[in-house]
Amino acid sequence: MPSENNKIMSDLAISCNGISKRYGNTLALDNLSFSVKRGEIFGFIGPDGAGKTSLFRILTTLLLPDAGQASVEGYDVVKDYKKLRNILGYMPGKFSLYQDLTVEENLRFFAGIFKADIKANYHLISEIYDQIAPFAHRRAGKLSGGMKQKLALSCALIHKPVVLVLDEPTTGVDAVSRREFWEMLIRLKKEGITIIVATPYMDEAMLCDRVALVQHGKILATDAPAAIINAFPWQLFRIHHSNTLSLLGKLKQHPKIHSADMFGEFVHATAETGKLSTEEISAFLENEGLGQPQVSESEPDIEDCFIDLMRMHVQSDKTPA
C-alpha cells in the first residue's frame, strides 16, 4: 500500500526518531529525536557545527540519514522524497538563487518548477516581494544581503508550501532586516504554515513557539523558551569591572560560585540559590584587588540556559560509565 495512504493523522507536522549522520569520523547528528506540531514556529538553536544544516538537509530530502526515520506531514523523507518536495519550502543558509537572473526571473523560474500560479499565491509574498519589486530587473547577485534574503524567502513560498524550512536565514543581515524578517514569519504562521528555523541568535529563539537547543549533534533541551528559562536551576549574578579577564579568573576561584562566563563587557556568575549574596561577591572581589565592582542579581536568558546545559552535557560525557 502506498505510504501516502498511511499518513499519520495527528497534530504533528514533523517527526524524527533516532536520526544519525556521520561524515567520516565526525558524528554530525547523534540519535536525534523530536517532533514539531503543525502551525508552530520551531527553532533549532546552536553554534556552527551543531548539526543544524545536516538535519535540515535530511528533512528536505537532500541528504540521506545513516540511521533513524524522519517524516514530514506523514511522508517519509527517504521513500516519499518526490511528494515531499512539492509541499516543502526550503531556504538554505547560503544564498542559492541564480545570481545572473533578475529578481523577477528568479521568482518566475521557481514558480515554473512547481507549476505554481504567482497571482494565486501572491498574498503569501506580497509584503515581502513589494519591498524588492522596485529592483525586479536587477540581477540577484547585485542585491544587498537583506534584499537577497527577501527574494530567497519569496521563491521558497511561491508554491504555497505546507512546511517552511529556514537554515540560519538572518545570518549576516542587518538588525532592521532581521526584525522585518521575523515579522514576516509570524504572519506566515497565521496562514497555517509550519516553520522550522535554525539560528545562532538567542534573541530570535524567544520568538519561537518552541526551541531545541543543539550542540554536537545532540538535543540538550526542547521546550517553549520561557519554560527553558524557568527551569534554570541557579541564582544568577551580573558583574562588571574594567578588568574583565581578571574578574573572570577571580570569580572562578570563589568556592561558592558554580560557573562564570563572559557576556560582552559583563560576567555572568551562578551559585546555588540563597547560598551567595551580592555583598559577599563585592567583598570577595575587593579583597582580591578588584575594587568597586558592579554586582547585581539578574534573571537568566536563553543564552544562560544554553551555556549551562552545554556545561552539564560536557560533564556527563566525562563521567565514567
Which residue is it, cell 523523507? 77
Q: Reduce the DSSP state of residue 65 to 3 states and report it.
A: coil
User: What is the rounded CA–CA span in Å between residue 197 and residue 274?
Assistant: 38
- The CATH architecture annotation of domain 233-299 reads 2-Layer Sandwich (3.30)
Region 146-151: mean pLDDT is 86
- Helix ranges (H only) for 231-268 are 244-253
Region 72-78: mean pLDDT is 96
Q: How many CB atoms lie within 10 A of CB 210?
A: 19
Which residue is it, cell 560582552? 264
pLDDT, one tens digit per residue, over 176-186 is 888 888 988 99
Q: What are phi and psi of 309, to 5 degrees?
A: -65, -40
Choose between 4 and 134: higher pLDDT.
134
Provide the CATH number for the domain formed by 3-225 in this structure. Answer: 3.40.50.300
pLDDT, one tens digit per residue, over 167-203 is 998 887 888 888 888 988 998 999 899 999 999 888 8
Query: Is the Cα torsion angle 45, 50, 56, 58 positive or negative in sign?
Result: negative
* C-alpha cell at position 73: 506531514
The domains of the chain are located at 3-225, 233-299
Find all residues with CB under 8 Å of 192, minimum gap 6, and list them. 38, 39
Q: Reduce the DSSP state of residue 179 to 3 states and report it.
A: helix
* C-alpha cell at position 192: 497555517
Query: How many Cα neighbours within 13 Å face the side chain of 295?
Result: 22
Maximal CA-CA distance, the chain:
76
The pTM score is 0.88
pLDDT, one tens digit per residue, over 264-284 is 999 999 999 999 999 999 999
pLDDT above 70 covers what percent of the chain?
Answer: 95
Q: Which helix (H) or strand (E) holds 266?
A: strand 266-271
Question: What mean pLDDT is reported for the chain?
Answer: 90
